[in-house]
Amino acid sequence: MYASRYDPVMNSAVSAPHRPPRRPHAWLAALLLSQLLVAALWWRFGARWGLPAMIASHLPFWWGTLAPGSALFSPVLRRLPTSERVVWLTIDDGPSDDTRAILDLLDAHGAKATFFVVGERARARPELVRAIVERGHGIGNHSQCHPSAWFWALPPRRMRAEIDEAQRTLTALCGRAPRWFRAVAGHANPFLAPALRAHGLARVAWSARGYDAVLSDVTRTIARIERDLAPGAIVLLHEGARHGRNVEMLARLLQRLDALGYRTVLPEPLEVA
């Protein structure tokens, strides 16, 4: 069973809209209409008008795919709906060699986080996933293989497999299915929404990040995050980066959160009709 000591009441959880995609193919109508308009312009005015119109008609779909906060293809949670001085810590890409040190740091500060884990990494180190759950933290789906270079371009079958396999892996390890999903690099092409809907997964982006997956400068990274802190902020963090300083970055961030009077919370999913 899913063994968790987390008490949403004692930890002052914040209710957050949980919005799995309801109409995952709605974008098709917009695409077809836009291309009909392009065809009409091309037929009436030729390539001089038709070509720029075709390029312009594709720009929203590129934006919808590559912009982490875009809700063009599926709803996405960018911050918690609260005026309380609380933040949601989210930690991507684990489990890793950093996981146990991160858990100890969170315990030392009385903090909670959601770990968006990669299915194949969880399967290889199940004891770390169980440790996350046993210490009262959340688990989210972050794909099965984390294809960071190509997630934005995955075709329907491969996209579905990434979500399905990770969900099966994490459900087997945790005893219940994750309810939140973090897209790899934040990218969400049109084929993601049907896979999320099949599992009742709601997509989560972020409102504060320090690029800690690539930057090794702790001071600069924390300054970037602090600049975007606000009530209800969703903070994007990583573990296991090649520079080896993610644990140090989290330690500094937790110190700053304490100094600034912020508490960490786990969101309590609020179903949306």
Report the distance separating Cα 76 and Cα 79, nearest Å. 9
**DSSP, residue by residue, 86-131:** EEEEEEES-S-TTHHHHHHHHHHTT--EEEEE-HHHHHH-HHHHHH
Identified catalytic residue from 18, 92, 146, 212: 92
Centroid of chain to Cα 125? 21
Residue type, 206: W
Active site residue 212: no
Instruction: Quote the tokens at residue 132.
Output: 């996350």
Q: Residue 7: enclosing H or E segment and its boundaries? A: none
165 CB-contact burial (10 Å; exposed 0-12 / middle 13-18 / buried 19+): middle
Instruction: Quote the tokens at residue 240.
Output: 């296991």
Specify whether the CB–CB gap between 117 and 95 falls below 8 A: yes
For the chain, give me the number of helices (H) and strands (E)?
9, 11
Three-class secondary structure of residue 156 per DSSP: helix
Which residues, 6 or more positions from 254, have their beta carbon under 8 angstroms from its beta carbon? 105, 106, 109, 111
Identified catalytic residue from 93, 142, 238, 258: 238
Centroid of chain to Cα 97? 21
Active site residue 92: yes
Is the peptide bond prior to 95 cis by the omega test (within 30 degrees of 0)? yes
Three-class secondary structure of residue 90 per DSSP: strand
The residues carrying an active-site annotation are 92, 238
